Structure 1
């Protein structure tokens, strides 16, 4: 698989621009994982950190699920990888975790996010509320936050990938 990343056109309207940058950053994380084995994808950055590329993908599946299912669409969607007792469980991968499974879950959450966002107005309050704050948001805010979330974690992914095999790139 070769990830084809494309920046949105500079003359795009706001929605196209937001969705374009979000897709770009989703594709960037996928690109950072390409060509690695499950062992490499589970490899933590440096002790004592447990951060790994597979953990980042699990985390982003949770984040997609939280914002686009629970908050935007007010869907009942239990956590995939974490619990109240282990709120960082999404980052904790085990020997039994495979990238094929994690990637499929992440892609399913991205598809649900696209489906829930399609046609939703950018500037109306969400149907659901954030689980911790109780606040409602707008799709504009969610898209912007997700771009920020992916961009931050893609920086982590850059460092993880370089440590694993020396591959660098934006």
Structure 2
């Protein structure tokens, strides 16, 4: 490792990743995002990401009431994300809160990268940012997704879709 690569990167140069956690979000996907983007990697010699969580409420009941998440930033933290990871949950038919959808739309409008793990594709579609694009979700929700979001080109034969900014 060169001397330069072990120098700390100024905070302004670190990519900001924010996860929106909403009522009944799945802890597994939150754990995956935290593992990939949130844990420090001292062996690399610098921070790769500035990671944070935000929620529309001060207390967020996680999936099936298994635990309550507290102490995270308010939804305004989504406005600082270079990459915004949107909420997912097992009940894909329940609509998202308007404030969450607005935060997703604002992030998209200002050019942030958007990520939806699994049922997070429903959040992206509900926000209207997938119209005319390819997207995927778990196979068990394919029919529901297609019915609710006919303007999104659902891909059932792939594990993920990378469409540049989403």
TM-score where L is the length of structure 1: 0.27
Q: Which has the higher strand share?
A: 2
> Which structure ranks higher in relative contact order (CA pairs < 8 Å, sequence separation ≥ 6)?
1
Q: Which has the higher helix share?
A: 1
